[in-house]
Chain A
């Protein structure tokens, strides 16, 4: 009975993992392929990596994406955090439901609509006040900030909702004014949520193709746009090399962050035991 069940579980596990990771594995393997065809293995080589790094268009696009990601994640944090704070800490006020609904709306809004409406906004603004002049990195950053801020607001709100308000009350009771409480008490306590919100926004921005396509201008091609347009001309093994590098970067980041979490958790439980044994 148990033998049968474990065979079933094992095969399900193998199938599941294969389903998830075989495509990725293929991409990695074929990035080292010598031939030009993506589907035929002809020999081991680093040539596509070399050609990737000499492809200025690709490097520029990657640089654009990184810059846009960092800027929009940071701006989204600045806009989204106060919104999350208002939703969880200002109690009941008139129009609260409307406000939180509108904050969360970009999460469910189809990207095509967000992109189109932002494009119309930018064009109108340019005609009216001359800013933003043309489409480019600035407009993409603004566009990404709008939908990333919604994610940050939701993350911050849920973190604050789980946090004991008496800690902030204690700070007020001890003589700190509201603005100071926010920076000295609330902010450090929601730091993990802010970090998570920033990383989420960065990833979303890096990943976005649709909205960026609407509001991009000449010279502001992002990596997803570049990849998408080059794939339309036929899949080049350069893309495989690029994908492999991205997977590598992501894996390294995940490993480092889980190591850090593990270490802090261990230190925490050690000191908890220590406290318990002393009392």
Chain B
């Protein structure tokens, strides 16, 4: 690669992944932010940088502090300790009505006594814009969310999906520096949600606003977000792109939270510069890892194996003694596109395997009580030490 091309590649990476650029200036910065309600730490010493044009997701179960973090950004809650900066400005003491943020509420919070048009225009009226300009901005925004023909309706005359669009239009029309979305698709049914996920991403790309989204739905976060912060009990457990989180979870918590995983406990018995071997009583065998592992020999570790990375064999492979666990098929779930198999290993441990049904079989390949061997490539496993 020539010098110029290398430079170009670097610039591209820095543009699309500002978090990998050491010189990039964060657009939103949480500095050791803590929020206490009484004795309860809703958010506990969180530091986080979010960059311009990101679609950032805060992901976690209920009560993990994600919504509190969002509400502190919006100005509805003041941090107990720590600082929040938006575009370099310290937000301490700045009331919600003066912040460069707008929020889309989980309940949409549309004004019930106003029409769609009046709802969207509300924020612009607060800025004292001239009437003609407000009219143009509102009709442009309604066109963007395809709600033009419902402009004169009241919120109670709209369906859930339509209300969601109005709420989005209302929060976007003021061109906020940051758009905050609290469970933006939580109130929609599954089909509509999937369709709306992509629409929302498209709109974000079109307007270029920085989005910060709160969700408990890992699929939603994975589909939409540029980066995800996985939260639990007021702290960020892991921060990364959807790919990083799924492929390289740093703890059993994130491995479990994102997608499905088999967690196997074991002891490190052989650690080399290029490989590691883990003896597991859970699995009843030795597991070979194709990279070095942090930890001393004898340390307890967990191996995370995604069900779709596992393979089932009907005959014992003869070429290796590693990564090959025998057991019996206990449950089969046929999901159309793929099937899940629950295999009871000889050690008693139950492991989950999914296989794609890439062609039409009249007879299923495996049936209940079949003896099978579960195997995987050495690179498929993640080793976790917390």
The B93-109 residues at the A interface (CB cut-off 8 A) are 95-98, 101-103, 105-107, 109
| Interface 0/1 of A119-163, CB less than 8 Å to B | 000000000000000000000000000000000000000000000
Q: Is the CB of B111 within 8 A of A276?
A: no
- Tell me, yes or no, whether B112 is within 8 Å of chain A by CB: yes
Chain A: CB-nearest residue to B161: A279
A169 and B107 alpha carbons, distance in the complex (Å)? 12
- Residues on A with C-beta less than 8 A from B105 are 166, 169-170
Chain B: CB-nearest residue to A165: B109
Q: Is the CB of A173 within 8 A of B102?
A: yes
Partner of B96 from A173, A185, A276, A279 at Cβ < 8 Å? A173
Chain B: CB-nearest residue to A277: B159
- Residues on A with C-beta less than 8 A from B109 are 164, 166-167, 169-170
Q: Is the CB of A172 within 8 A of B96?
A: yes
A272 and B159 alpha carbons, distance in the complex (Å)? 8
Which of B24-32, B120-128, B368-376, B378-386 contacts its partner? B120-128
Partner of A279 from B97, B110, B162 at Cβ < 8 Å? B162
Q: Is the CB of B159 within 8 A of A279?
A: yes
A185 and B110 alpha carbons, distance in the complex (Å)? 10
- Tell me, yes or no, whether A188 is within 8 Å of chain B by CB: yes
A237 and B281 alpha carbons, distance in the complex (Å)? 100
Q: Is the CB of B127 within 8 A of A175?
A: yes
| Interface 0/1 of B127-155, CB less than 8 Å to A | 10000000000000000000000000110
A172 and B77 alpha carbons, distance in the complex (Å)? 13
Chain B: CB-nearest residue to A271: B157
Partner of A174 from B113, B123, B156, B159 at Cβ < 8 Å? B123
Chain B: CB-nearest residue to A163: B112
A176 and B111 alpha carbons, distance in the complex (Å)? 13
- A188 touching B113 in the complex, CB below 8 Å, given contacts A172-B96, A177-B97, A271-B157: yes
- A167 touching B159 in the complex, CB below 8 Å, given contacts A175-B123, A175-B127, A176-B97: no
| Interface 0/1 of A262-274, CB less than 8 Å to B | 0000001001101
Q: Is the CB of A272 within 8 A of B157?
A: yes
Chain B: CB-nearest residue to A267: B157
- Tell me, yes or no, whether A189 is within 8 Å of chain B by CB: yes
- Residues on B with C-beta less than 8 A from A271 are 153-154, 156-157
Q: Is the CB of B101 within 8 A of A173?
A: yes
- Number of residue pairs across A and B with beta carbons under 8 Å? 78
Chain A: CB-nearest residue to B112: A189
**Chain A interface helix/strand/loop/mixed:** helix
A276 and B153 alpha carbons, distance in the complex (Å)? 13
- A171 touching B122 in the complex, CB below 8 Å, given contacts A176-B97, A189-B113: yes
Partner of B111 from A185, A274, A275, A279 at Cβ < 8 Å? A185
Q: Is the CB of A268 within 8 A of B174?
A: no
Return B371 CB to nearest CB of chain A, in Å.
52
- Residues on B with C-beta less than 8 A from A189 are 112-113
Chain A: CB-nearest residue to B157: A271
Q: Is the CB of B126 within 8 A of A175?
A: yes
Chain A: CB-nearest residue to B98: A175
Return A29 CB to nearest CB of chain B, in Å.
46
- Tell me, yes or no, whether B158 is within 8 Å of chain A by CB: yes
Return B258 CB to nearest CB of chain A, in Å.
29
- Tell me, yes or no, whether B198 is within 8 Å of chain A by CB: no
- Residues on B with C-beta less than 8 A from A180 are 126
- A170 touching B103 in the complex, CB below 8 Å, given contacts A164-B109, A279-B159: yes
- Tell me, yes or no, whether B74 is within 8 Å of chain A by CB: yes
- Residues on B with C-beta less than 8 A from A275 are 153, 157-159, 162
Return A159 CB to nearest CB of chain B, in Å.
13
- Residues on B with C-beta less than 8 A from A177 are 97
- Residues on A with C-beta less than 8 A from B107 are 164, 166
The A236-275 residues at the B interface (CB cut-off 8 A) are 268, 271-272, 274-275
- Residues on A with C-beta less than 8 A from B122 are 171, 174, 176
- A174 touching B126 in the complex, CB below 8 Å, given contacts A164-B109, A185-B111: yes
- Tell me, yes or no, whether B76 is within 8 Å of chain A by CB: yes
A268 and B101 alpha carbons, distance in the complex (Å)? 34
- Residues on B with C-beta less than 8 A from A170 are 103, 105, 109-111, 170
A-B contact pairs, 10 of them (CB 8 A): A167-B112, A172-B97, A173-B103, A174-B97, A185-B111, A271-B156, A271-B157, A275-B158, A279-B160, A279-B161
Interface residues of A (CB under 8 A from B): 164, 166-167, 169-177, 180, 185, 188-189, 268, 271-272, 274-276, 278-279
